[in-house]
């Protein structure tokens, strides 16, 4: 209903493009905010060719639909070299997972993949009372700012596979969790294989990926 967008519309220093899938919402927005005319696209962000809207770098700002927030982040990762910043409200437990460091039980796949490329700030929690009607879940705002990393230092595709495979069986040590990726004669005597995925930092996963890519 334009709760966030009405403030962005007041900014004359930005090239604002808006994406909304729901037809009723689009009609409402155009009726109540004439300034959206020509800027509002009725589309599914996950299937939108964003490069047609922004040929250069762009920032992603929004209250993400909670049921597809992870998919949105994966799309952002695909275009990470053109997205210097993301500011969004998502479900609180997802926000905590993304911002958490190694050693936590909430630290997971998205934590590692996003932290590899972005510095992440947990900005604030948002209680259910801020919504009408109040949802059953809590919310939070996070900010992602592109870090200085230009290369992972390992095969990026294998890195993603290693991270996902390690966390898919997070209660197992890496020696067992990564078995599907290891050749029969692979030496797993390195102490890192005694650890569980949640203990490894981004750099640890990079080093692990290099070990497996021999």
In a domain, 53, yes or no: no
- Among 146, 128, 159, smallest CA distance to 66 is for 128
Per-residue pLDDT at 102 = 96
Query: According to the model, what pLDDT value does residue 43 have?
Result: 96
- DSSP code for 88: E
Strands 139-146 and 85-91: antiparallel
**Spatial separation of the C-alpha atoms in residues 87 and 144, rounded to whole Å:** 6
Tell whether the torsion through CA atoms of 150, 153, 154 and 160 is positive or negative: negative
What pLDDT shows up at residue 214? Answer: 76
Q: Is 55 helix (H, G, I), strand (E, B) or coil?
A: coil
Judged against a pLDDT cut of 80, whether residue 188 lies above it is answered with yes
Question: For residue 132, what pLDDT is reported?
Answer: 86
Query: Where is the domain boundary, 111, 128, 146?
Result: 146
pLDDT at 118: 98
Instruction: Taking residues 186-206, report their average pLDDT.
Output: 96
Instruction: Identify the pLDDT of residue 183.
Output: 87
The 10s digit of each residue's pLDDT in 77-102 is: 999 999 999 999 999 999 999 999 99
- HSE toward the beta carbon, residue 125, CA cutoff 13 A: 8
Count of domains for the chain:
2
Q: Closest Cα to residue 142, out of 76, 188, 212?
A: 76
Residue 10 lies in a domain: no
* pLDDT of the residue at 78: 95
Share of the chain above pLDDT 90, in %: 94
Mean pLDDT for the chain overall: 95
Mean pLDDT of 119-146: 94
Asked whether residue 92 is assigned to any structural domain, the reply reads: yes
Orientation of helix 92-99 relative to helix 69-78, angle to 10°: 40
57 within some domain: no
d(CA 158, CA 210): 9
Cβ neighbours for 133, distance < 8 A, ≥ 6 positions apart: none
| SS3 call for 19 | strand
Mark whether 123 and 194 lie in a shared domain: no
Structural domain boundaries enclosing 86: 66-146
């Amino acid at each position: 209903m334009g709760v966030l967008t009405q403030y962005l519309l007041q900014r004359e220093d930005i090239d604002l493009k808006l994406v909304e899938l729901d037809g009723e919402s689009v009609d409402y927005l155009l009726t109540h905010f004439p300034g959206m005319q020509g800027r509002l696209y009725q589309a599914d962000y996950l299937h939108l060719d964003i490069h047609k809207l922004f040929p250069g770098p762009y920032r992603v700002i929004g209250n993400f639909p909670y049921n597809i927030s992870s998919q949105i982040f994966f799309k952002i990762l695909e275009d990470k070299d053109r997205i210097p910043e993301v500011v969004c409200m998502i479900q609180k437990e997802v926000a905590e997972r993304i911002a958490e460091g190694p050693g936590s039980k909430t630290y997971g796949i998205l934590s590692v993949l996003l932290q590899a490329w972005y510095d992440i700030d947990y900005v604030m929690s948002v209680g259910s009372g801020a919504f009408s009607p109040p949802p059953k879940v809590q919310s939070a705002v996070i900010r992602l700012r592109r870090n200085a990393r230009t290369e992972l230092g390992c095969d990026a595709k294998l890195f993603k596979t290693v991270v996902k495979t390690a966390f898919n069986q997070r209660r197992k040590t890496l020696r067992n969790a990564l078995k599907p990726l290891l050749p029969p004669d692979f030496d797993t005597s390195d102490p890192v294989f005694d650890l569980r995925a949640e203990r490894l930092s981004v750099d640890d996963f990079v080093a692990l990926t290099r070990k497996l890519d021999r």
